[in-house]
Structures are given as structure tokens and as C-alpha cells.
């Protein structure tokens, strides 16, 4: 039995040896397989190394970006902090000069802040808006206020809550008579306010200032912006009225108030102007002539129709008011030699409306232009002694009226 078992074990070992040899023979006969394993391991190691390098680069980039954002954020935050901190303080602690600021009715805190910034009373309207919200400053009232750059936001807020200046606190009452032109308005401003006429005239020629007004009052000033050859774009647009003047009021503020008054008056007439086939500039131009040519409402309506009759047939308007404006003088009598003045405002030589208004008309004159009395007259003349106006349909009739009521050739002593 032992021999048989030994024999079986020998056979088993022999079989294993055969298998091992066969396996060795297989590997020795396939060298490419071994090389392929080595190549795969090298490529895998190379990829791992490349990934490690890429990871390091990405990490560095992320670190640099994060650091940059932290630095930028810190700088921005610090700059914002400094800006807000400085905006809360008075704009100029050493400047106590009063500035009159007009806060319109219905203004929000944001709008008020922007007005104060524009008037150079505070540094930032935006900061003012948030400051009033955080500090529960509400109940601001419309009106005129005397403010200065050395005031704190709390002081300004308290004044706005208490209300503006009363009319009896005005430093002057500035009255602009009906029919005054810009030259005369400049004299009045200098006489009653201390503001210089030359600065006022310069402002009237400032196209940038006009564009700012145009943006604010487009319905009123769009036609004026398109007019060519005008002496002053705002001639005719400074409403004749009485204005309260406070020390510190700028010329820009004063003029804006006058233009705003004209816009308020014309607001109810804009649709009527359009329906009449006219524009605002034309209406104010004719109204500026009617203002000076007629005294009573009845005469102004008749004279307005005379001008329209002339325009319809291409006749010159032949108004002495246009000659005086072209000459730049104010006098009672117009001479024949004056009619030769070379100017687009000379409506004896030029047909049409001319460049624009010759003065600043009243609402009555404006209304007369929009509601003229129908007639067939082409001429009119006023008695210099009585002021009564006489009308004629043709030149012969007109000349007779001139002889009788101007030259007084038929007058008996």
C-alpha cells in the first residue's frame, strides 16, 4: 500500500512539473506581453506625474485668484468705507456761504439728495438717501432752503423737516414786467439782486445750460432748440412775473424758475397749439409782437389775426417791435432809416416769423394768438395820444389812417 501511495505522489509531482515547464515555455515564447506590461506601467506613471503637475498649477492659480480677490475686495471695501465716511461729514467745514436750494413738491429722498449734490451742498446724494433711511429722517417738505456746505446731514435733514423759507423772508422781490426782453431783464436782475447782468447775458448764450433746460422742459423748448439765427434761445421763455429772491440763489436757479413758470402756463395750451397747426416757438414769437402792439385784450386778438392774415399771403409782418429788437435799442419812434437795419429780426425786409420772440409775453398775449378775432385786415395803426388802434383792409385806407392819427395832417387847432 505504501508503494502505491508513493507512486501516486510521484505521478502528481511529475504532472505539476510538466505544467510549470509548460507555463515557463509559454512565457519564454511570448516576450511581447511582458514588454507591454512595462510600457503600460510607464505610461500610467507618466499620466499620474502630469496630473500632479497640473493639480499644482491649478492650485497655484486658484490661490493667486483668491488672493487677488481678497486684495481687491479689501481695497474696494476700504475705499467704499472712506467714501461713505467722508460723505456723511460736511462737504466743506470751512464754507458757510448760503446757497438757496429749491425742493419741488413731491420730491423723494433720492431726488432731494441729487438736488443737494448738484447744488454742491453735500458730497453724495446716494449716501444722503441711505443715511436718511437708516436714521428714519422723513417728512421732508417742499420749498426754498438756505443751506451751506459746512452743514451736517442731520442739520440739513432737520431743516427739510421744518419747512422752507417763507415769502416774507425773501431778500428781494424781483418783478419782471410783461414784454421785457432779455436785455431789460438783465438790468432788473442786477438792480435788485446784486447778480451781474454780464453773467446773466453769458448764461443766456450758454448752449450747455440751454440743453440742460431742454432735457427738463422738452415740450416747451424743443422748437426753440431747432431755431436758427436767434440772439438768445431763451428769449420769450422767461415768464414775466414776480419772483422771491434769496441771497445765495444762483442765476441758473433763477432762470430755471422763470422757464418753469412759462412751462406751467403753457401746459394747458400745448394741445391747442398743436391743433392750431402751430408750434410753441411760433406762438411765442407772435405773442411777443402782440404784447407790444396792443394794450387791450380785444386789440391783441385783432392784431394777432392781422399777423396771421399777412403770413398767409406771404406779406412781411412789418412790426416796429422787430426793428427795435434788431437795432438793440428801446425808443418811442422808428425812423425810415431804421427800417434798413441788416438783421434776420427785421420783419420789414424779411417774411415769416423771423428767428424767434422779441420779448417775453404775458399769458393774455399768448391766449390772443391762440384765440384771434377773425377779420380781413392787413394793416393797423395806433393813435399815439390815445392808444386807440385803427384797422384797414388795404394800403390806401391804412395811409389815410396814418395821416389822420399819426401825422395828424387832418387835425384842426
246 and 222 in a common domain = yes
**CA 38, 40, 43: angle at the middle one, nearest 5?**
110
* Cell numbers linked to 404: 389822420
Residue that is last in its domain, among 62, 88, 114: 88
Provide DSSP, 306-342.
HHHHHHHHT-----HHHHHHHHT---S---GGGGG--
Spatial separation of the C-alpha atoms in residues 143 and 125, rounded to whole Å: 18
Residue of 279, 239, 230 whose CA lies nearest to 259 = 239
Contact 126, 91 (CB under 8 A): no
* Cell numbers linked to 337: 432809416
Tell me, what's the pLDDT at 2?
43
Domain membership flag for residue 94:
no
Q: Is the pLDDT of residue 188 over 50?
A: yes
Domain membership flag for residue 30:
yes
Mean pLDDT of 137-145: 85
Spatial separation of the C-alpha atoms in residues 286 and 307, rounded to whole Å: 8
Specify the CATH number for the domain of residue 152: 3.30.1490.480
Q: Is the pLDDT higher at 19 or at 221?
A: 221
334 and 302 in a common domain = yes
Residue that is last in its domain, among 165, 180, 203: 165
As separate numbers, helices (DSSP H) first and strands (DSSP E) second, the chain gives 16, 6
Domain membership flag for residue 384:
no
Domain membership flag for residue 404:
no
Spatial separation of the C-alpha atoms in residues 12 and 4, rounded to whole Å: 13
Contact 103, 160 (CB under 8 A): yes
Tell me, what's the pLDDT at 5?
45
124 and 225 in a common domain = no
> DSSP label at 167?
G
Contact 130, 186 (CB under 8 A): no
Domain membership flag for residue 391:
no
352 and 267 in a common domain = yes
- Cβ atoms within 10 Å of 308's Cβ, excluding its own: 17
131 and 39 in a common domain = no
343 and 215 in a common domain = yes
- Cβ atoms within 10 Å of 324's Cβ, excluding its own: 22
Lowest mean pLDDT among 49-58, 181-190, 365-374: 49-58
Tell me, what's the pLDDT at 227?
94
197 and 76 in a common domain = no
Domain membership flag for residue 371:
yes
Spatial separation of the C-alpha atoms in residues 65 and 56, rounded to whole Å: 14
196 and 302 in a common domain = yes
137 and 213 in a common domain = no
Spatial separation of the C-alpha atoms in residues 365 and 2, rounded to whole Å: 148
Domain membership flag for residue 29:
yes
Tell me, what's the pLDDT at 252?
95
Domain membership flag for residue 314:
yes
* Cell numbers linked to 105: 413738491
Spatial separation of the C-alpha atoms in residues 123 and 212, rounded to whole Å: 21
262 and 156 in a common domain = no
Q: Is the pLDDT of residue 347 over 90?
A: yes
Number of residues that this document lists for the chain: 413
Residue that is last in its domain, among 165, 192, 207: 165
Mean pLDDT of 172-187: 94
Band of pLDDT at residue 271, cut at 50, 70 and 90: very high
How many domains in the chain?
Answer: 3
Mean pLDDT of 121-140: 87
366 and 225 in a common domain = yes
What is the average pLDDT value for the chain, to the nearest integer? 85
Contacts of 154 (CB under 8 A, 6+ apart): 135, 137
- Please indicate, yes or no, whether the overall pTM of this predicted structure exceeds 0.75: no
Range of the domain at 57: 2-88
187 and 73 in a common domain = no
Band of pLDDT at residue 33, cut at 50, 70 and 90: low
Amino acid at each position: 500500500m505504501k508503494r502505491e501511495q508513493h507512486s501516486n505522489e510521484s505521478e502528481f509531482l511529475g504532472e505539476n512539473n510538466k505544467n510549470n515547464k509548460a507555463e515557463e515555455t509559454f512565457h519564454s515564447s511570448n516576450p511581447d506581453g511582458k514588454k507591454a506590461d512595462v510600457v503600460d506601467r510607464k505610461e500610467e506613471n507618466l499620466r499620474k506625474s502630469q496630473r500632479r503637475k497640473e493639480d499644482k498649477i491649478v492650485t497655484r492659480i486658484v490661490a493667486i485668484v483668491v488672493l487677488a480677490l481678497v486684495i481687491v475686495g479689501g481695497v474696494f471695501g476700504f475705499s467704499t468705507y472712506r467714501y461713505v465716511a467722508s460723505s456723511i461729514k460736511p462737504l466743506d467745514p470751512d464754507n458757510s456761504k448760503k446757497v438757496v436750494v429749491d425742493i419741488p413738491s413731491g420730491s423723494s429722498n433720492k431726488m432731494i439728495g441729487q438736488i443737494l449734490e448738484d447744488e454742491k451742498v453735500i458730497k453724495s446724494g446716494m449716501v444722503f438717501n441711505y443715511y436718511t433711511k437708516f436714521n428714519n429722517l422723513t417728512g421732508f417738505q417742499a420749498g426754498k432752503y438756505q443751506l451751506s456746505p459746512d452743514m451736517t446731514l442731520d442739520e440739513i435733514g432737520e431743516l427739510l423737516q421744518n419747512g422752507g423759507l417763507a415769502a416774507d423772508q425773501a431778500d428781494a422781490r424781483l418783478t419782471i414786467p410783461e414784454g421785457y426782453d432779455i436785455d431789460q431783464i438783465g438790468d432788473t436782475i442786477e438792480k435788485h439782486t446784486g447778480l451781474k447782468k454780464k453773467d446773466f447775458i453769458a448764461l443766456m448764450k450758454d448752449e450747455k445750460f440751454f440743453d440742460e433746460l431742454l432735457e427738463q422742459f422738452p415740450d416747451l423748448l424743443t422748437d426753440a432748440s431747432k431755431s436758427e439765427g436767434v440772439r438768445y434761445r431763451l428769449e420769450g421763455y422767461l415768464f414775466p412775473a414776480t419772483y422771491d429772491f434769496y441771497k445765495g440763489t444762483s442765476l441758473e436757479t433763477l432762470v430755471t424758475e422763470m422757464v418753469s413758470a412759462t412751462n406751467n402756463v403753457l401746459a394747458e395750451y400745448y394741445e391747442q397749439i398743436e391743433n392750431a397747426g402751430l408750434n410753441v416757438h411760433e406762438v411765442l414769437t407772435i405773442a411777443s409782437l402782440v404784447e407790444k402792439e396792443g394794450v387791450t385784450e380785444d386789440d391783441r386778438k385783432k392784431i394777432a389775426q392781422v399777423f396771421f392774415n399777412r403770413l398767409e399771403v406771404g406779406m412781411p409782418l412789418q412790426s416796429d417791435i422787430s426793428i427795435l429788437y434788431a437795432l438793440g435799442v428801446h425808443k418811442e419812434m422808428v425812423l425810415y432809416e431804421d427800417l434798413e437795419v441788416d438783421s434776420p429780426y427785421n420783419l420789414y425786409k424779411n417774411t415769416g416769423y423771423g428767428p424767434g420772440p422779441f420779448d417775453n409775453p404775458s399769458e393774455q398775449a399768448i391766449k390772443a394768438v391762440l384765440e384771434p378775432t377773425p377779420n380781413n385786415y392787413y394793416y393797423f395803426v395806433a393813435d399815439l395820444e390815445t392808444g386807440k388802434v385803427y384797422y384797414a383792409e388795404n394800403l390806401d385806407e391804412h395811409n389815410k389812417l396814418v395821416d389822420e392819427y399819426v401825422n395828424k395832417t387832418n387835425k384842426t387847432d
